[in-house]
Amino acid sequence: MTRVSPSAGSFDEIAEVFDRFAELVGGPLSEYLETVFLHGDRALDLGCGSGRHSNMLADRYREVLGVDVSEPMLEIARTRRPRPNVTYQQRDLGDVRADTDGRFDLVFSVNTLHHVSDLEQALGQIRDLVVPGGRVVLVDNVAARPAITRRWFIGAAVRGLVTDLVRRRRPAREAFELFRLNTHPGWLDHITTDRFLSPAQFEQRYGSVFPGARYQGLYFARAMCWDAPE
Protein backbone atom coordinates (compact mmCIF):
# COMPACT_ATOMS: atom_id res chain seq x y z
CA MET A 1 0.00 0.00 0.00
CA THR A 2 1.25 3.47 -0.88
CA ARG A 3 2.41 5.53 2.09
CA VAL A 4 3.35 9.15 2.57
CA SER A 5 7.06 9.43 3.36
CA PRO A 6 8.23 10.39 6.88
CA SER A 7 9.42 13.78 5.57
CA ALA A 8 5.78 14.86 5.32
CA GLY A 9 5.64 14.67 9.10
CA SER A 10 8.01 17.61 9.36
CA PHE A 11 4.97 19.80 8.75
CA ASP A 12 4.16 19.12 12.42
CA GLU A 13 6.89 21.59 13.37
CA ILE A 14 6.01 24.28 10.83
CA ALA A 15 2.22 24.14 10.68
CA GLU A 16 1.77 27.83 11.51
CA VAL A 17 4.53 28.85 9.11
CA PHE A 18 3.02 26.88 6.24
CA ASP A 19 -0.51 28.12 6.87
CA ARG A 20 0.54 31.76 6.71
CA PHE A 21 2.83 31.10 3.74
CA ALA A 22 -0.06 29.52 1.82
CA GLU A 23 -2.24 32.52 2.62
CA LEU A 24 0.31 34.94 1.18
CA VAL A 25 1.19 33.06 -2.02
CA GLY A 26 -1.92 31.01 -2.76
CA GLY A 27 -3.71 33.49 -5.03
CA PRO A 28 -2.77 32.01 -8.44
CA LEU A 29 -3.59 28.48 -7.28
CA SER A 30 -6.96 29.59 -5.89
CA GLU A 31 -7.76 31.31 -9.18
CA TYR A 32 -7.00 28.10 -11.07
CA LEU A 33 -9.07 25.98 -8.69
CA GLU A 34 -12.06 28.27 -9.16
CA THR A 35 -12.04 27.19 -12.82
CA VAL A 36 -11.85 23.42 -12.20
CA PHE A 37 -13.84 22.86 -9.00
CA LEU A 38 -17.37 21.99 -10.02
CA HIS A 39 -20.40 21.19 -7.82
CA GLY A 40 -21.48 17.80 -6.61
CA ASP A 41 -22.22 15.42 -3.79
CA ARG A 42 -18.87 14.28 -2.34
CA ALA A 43 -15.32 15.67 -2.54
CA LEU A 44 -12.03 14.32 -1.17
CA ASP A 45 -9.02 16.49 -0.26
CA LEU A 46 -5.92 14.31 0.06
CA GLY A 47 -3.22 16.06 2.10
CA CYS A 48 -5.65 18.75 3.17
CA GLY A 49 -3.18 20.48 5.50
CA SER A 50 -4.74 23.42 7.31
CA GLY A 51 -8.00 23.14 5.39
CA ARG A 52 -7.80 26.04 2.96
CA HIS A 53 -8.92 24.06 -0.04
CA SER A 54 -11.36 21.89 1.90
CA ASN A 55 -13.00 25.18 2.83
CA MET A 56 -13.31 26.09 -0.86
CA LEU A 57 -14.77 22.68 -1.63
CA ALA A 58 -17.37 23.06 1.13
CA ASP A 59 -19.09 25.75 -0.94
CA ARG A 60 -19.49 23.37 -3.87
CA TYR A 61 -20.00 19.87 -2.48
CA ARG A 62 -22.51 18.51 -0.01
CA GLU A 63 -19.86 16.50 1.84
CA VAL A 64 -16.08 16.98 2.01
CA LEU A 65 -13.51 14.63 3.52
CA GLY A 66 -10.09 16.12 4.24
CA VAL A 67 -7.26 13.78 5.29
CA ASP A 68 -3.70 14.56 6.34
CA VAL A 69 -0.93 12.86 8.30
CA SER A 70 -0.11 16.00 10.33
CA GLU A 71 -2.25 16.47 13.43
CA PRO A 72 -0.99 20.05 14.05
CA MET A 73 -2.05 21.00 10.53
CA LEU A 74 -5.45 19.41 11.09
CA GLU A 75 -5.83 21.24 14.38
CA ILE A 76 -5.45 24.53 12.51
CA ALA A 77 -8.05 23.32 10.00
CA ARG A 78 -10.54 22.35 12.69
CA THR A 79 -10.00 25.57 14.64
CA ARG A 80 -9.85 28.15 11.84
CA ARG A 81 -11.84 26.52 9.04
CA PRO A 82 -14.59 24.44 10.54
CA ARG A 83 -17.50 23.76 8.23
CA PRO A 84 -20.53 21.60 9.04
CA ASN A 85 -20.08 19.60 5.82
CA VAL A 86 -16.31 19.05 6.18
CA THR A 87 -14.77 16.15 8.11
CA TYR A 88 -11.05 16.34 8.89
CA GLN A 89 -9.27 13.07 9.66
CA GLN A 90 -5.67 12.18 10.49
CA ARG A 91 -5.01 9.45 7.95
CA ASP A 92 -2.46 8.43 5.37
CA LEU A 93 -3.84 9.00 1.89
CA GLY A 94 -3.10 5.36 1.11
CA ASP A 95 -5.71 4.34 3.68
CA VAL A 96 -8.55 6.01 1.75
CA ARG A 97 -10.16 3.28 -0.34
CA ALA A 98 -13.32 2.96 -2.35
CA ASP A 99 -14.41 -0.20 -0.50
CA THR A 100 -14.36 1.56 2.88
CA ASP A 101 -14.90 5.24 2.06
CA GLY A 102 -16.97 5.07 -1.10
CA ARG A 103 -16.28 7.05 -4.25
CA PHE A 104 -16.20 10.78 -4.80
CA ASP A 105 -17.37 13.25 -7.42
CA LEU A 106 -14.05 15.09 -7.00
CA VAL A 107 -10.70 13.80 -5.80
CA PHE A 108 -8.22 16.60 -5.19
CA SER A 109 -4.66 16.88 -3.92
CA VAL A 110 -2.14 19.74 -3.86
CA ASN A 111 1.60 19.56 -3.12
CA THR A 112 1.34 16.14 -1.51
CA LEU A 113 2.10 13.41 -4.02
CA HIS A 114 5.85 14.04 -4.15
CA HIS A 115 5.83 12.60 -0.62
CA VAL A 116 4.41 9.19 -1.54
CA SER A 117 6.58 6.07 -1.71
CA ASP A 118 5.07 4.76 -4.97
CA LEU A 119 3.62 7.45 -7.22
CA GLU A 120 2.06 5.14 -9.83
CA GLN A 121 0.31 3.10 -7.16
CA ALA A 122 -0.96 6.27 -5.49
CA LEU A 123 -2.28 7.62 -8.79
CA GLY A 124 -4.03 4.32 -9.46
CA GLN A 125 -5.68 4.42 -6.04
CA ILE A 126 -6.83 7.97 -6.69
CA ARG A 127 -8.31 6.97 -10.05
CA ASP A 128 -10.27 4.19 -8.34
CA LEU A 129 -11.76 6.69 -5.85
CA VAL A 130 -13.60 8.82 -8.42
CA VAL A 131 -17.12 8.05 -9.65
CA PRO A 132 -17.83 7.65 -13.39
CA GLY A 133 -18.10 11.14 -14.78
CA GLY A 134 -16.27 12.58 -11.77
CA ARG A 135 -13.15 14.71 -11.78
CA VAL A 136 -9.59 14.40 -10.48
CA VAL A 137 -7.52 17.56 -9.87
CA LEU A 138 -3.91 17.03 -8.82
CA VAL A 139 -1.34 19.77 -8.26
CA ASP A 140 2.27 19.29 -7.23
CA ASN A 141 5.59 21.09 -7.21
CA VAL A 142 7.93 20.52 -10.16
CA ALA A 143 11.52 21.55 -10.80
CA ALA A 144 14.21 21.23 -13.45
CA ARG A 145 16.32 19.21 -10.98
CA PRO A 146 15.05 16.58 -8.52
CA ALA A 147 16.71 18.21 -5.49
CA ILE A 148 16.95 21.95 -4.82
CA THR A 149 19.61 23.35 -2.51
CA ARG A 150 19.12 25.58 0.49
CA ARG A 151 21.22 28.28 -1.21
CA TRP A 152 18.88 28.29 -4.21
CA PHE A 153 15.77 28.74 -2.06
CA ILE A 154 17.37 31.57 -0.11
CA GLY A 155 18.43 33.26 -3.35
CA ALA A 156 14.90 32.91 -4.73
CA ALA A 157 13.54 34.46 -1.54
CA VAL A 158 15.90 37.43 -1.91
CA ARG A 159 14.91 37.89 -5.55
CA GLY A 160 11.26 37.68 -4.64
CA LEU A 161 11.64 40.28 -1.90
CA VAL A 162 13.40 42.71 -4.25
CA THR A 163 10.73 42.23 -6.91
CA ASP A 164 7.91 42.68 -4.40
CA LEU A 165 9.42 45.95 -3.17
CA VAL A 166 10.47 47.39 -6.55
CA ARG A 167 7.25 46.50 -8.36
CA ARG A 168 5.10 47.05 -5.27
CA ARG A 169 3.40 43.71 -5.80
CA ARG A 170 2.50 43.65 -2.11
CA PRO A 171 2.86 46.00 0.88
CA ALA A 172 6.40 46.21 2.24
CA ARG A 173 5.46 44.73 5.59
CA GLU A 174 3.89 41.74 3.86
CA ALA A 175 6.88 41.38 1.52
CA PHE A 176 9.29 41.16 4.46
CA GLU A 177 6.99 38.72 6.24
CA LEU A 178 6.95 36.46 3.19
CA PHE A 179 10.75 36.64 2.99
CA ARG A 180 11.01 35.55 6.63
CA LEU A 181 8.66 32.63 5.98
CA ASN A 182 10.55 31.61 2.84
CA THR A 183 13.82 31.51 4.80
CA HIS A 184 12.44 30.01 8.02
CA PRO A 185 14.90 27.25 9.08
CA GLY A 186 12.14 24.69 9.55
CA TRP A 187 10.67 25.40 6.13
CA LEU A 188 14.12 25.15 4.48
CA ASP A 189 14.83 21.91 6.36
CA HIS A 190 11.62 20.47 4.96
CA ILE A 191 11.70 21.65 1.38
CA THR A 192 15.33 20.73 0.76
CA THR A 193 14.48 17.09 1.54
CA ASP A 194 11.74 17.05 -1.11
CA ARG A 195 12.34 15.43 -4.48
CA PHE A 196 10.53 16.75 -7.53
CA LEU A 197 9.56 15.69 -11.02
CA SER A 198 10.32 17.94 -13.96
CA PRO A 199 7.26 19.36 -15.78
CA ALA A 200 7.77 16.83 -18.59
CA GLN A 201 8.10 13.94 -16.13
CA PHE A 202 4.97 15.09 -14.33
CA GLU A 203 2.91 14.95 -17.52
CA GLN A 204 4.40 11.63 -18.59
CA ARG A 205 3.85 9.81 -15.30
CA TYR A 206 0.47 11.31 -14.46
CA GLY A 207 -0.66 10.90 -18.06
CA SER A 208 0.10 7.18 -17.98
CA VAL A 209 -2.66 6.79 -15.36
CA PHE A 210 -4.95 9.60 -16.48
CA PRO A 211 -4.92 9.56 -20.31
CA GLY A 212 -6.31 12.69 -21.91
CA ALA A 213 -5.75 14.85 -18.83
CA ARG A 214 -5.31 18.60 -19.17
CA TYR A 215 -2.28 20.37 -17.67
CA GLN A 216 -1.44 23.89 -16.58
CA GLY A 217 1.73 25.46 -15.20
CA LEU A 218 1.44 27.33 -11.89
CA TYR A 219 4.81 28.95 -11.15
CA PHE A 220 6.76 26.14 -9.40
CA ALA A 221 3.88 23.69 -9.75
CA ARG A 222 2.05 21.70 -12.39
CA ALA A 223 -1.70 21.08 -12.30
CA MET A 224 -3.61 18.17 -13.83
CA CYS A 225 -7.35 18.01 -14.42
CA TRP A 226 -8.92 14.72 -15.59
CA ASP A 227 -12.55 13.77 -16.12
CA ALA A 228 -13.41 10.13 -15.58
CA PRO A 229 -15.35 8.44 -18.39
CA GLU A 230 -19.08 8.08 -17.78
pLDDT (tens place) for every residue of the chain, 230 residues total: 455 544 444 567 788 888 888 888 877 899 999 999 999 999 999 999 999 999 999 999 999 999 999 999 999 999 999 999 999 999 999 999 999 999 999 999 999 999 998 999 999 999 999 999 999 999 999 998 998 999 999 999 999 999 999 999 899 999 999 999 889 998 899 889 999 999 999 999 999 999 999 999 998 899 999 999 99
pLDDT at 58: 97
CB neighbour burial string for 30-63, b if at least 16 within 10 angstroms, e if fewer: eebbeebbeebebbbbbbbbbbbbbbbbbeebeb
CATH numeric code, 6-143+197-227: 3.40.50.150
Identify the DSSP state of 117. Answer: S
Helices then strands, each counted (H, E), the chain: 10, 7
pLDDT at 7: 47
State in Å, rounded, how far the first CA of the chain is from the last one: 27
CB neighbour burial string for 131-144, b if at least 16 within 10 angstroms, e if fewer: beebbbbbbbbbbe
Contacts of 173 (CB under 8 A, 6+ apart): none
Check if the beta carbon of residue 96 is closer than 8 Å to that of residue 112: no
Q: In what helix (H) or strand (E) does residue 157 lie, and over which residues does it extend? A: helix 150-167
pLDDT at 159: 95
pLDDT at 4: 53
pLDDT at 10: 59
Which has the closest alpha carbon to 68: 87, 82, 83? 87
pLDDT at 23: 82
Which has the closest alpha carbon to 122: 1, 208, 224? 1
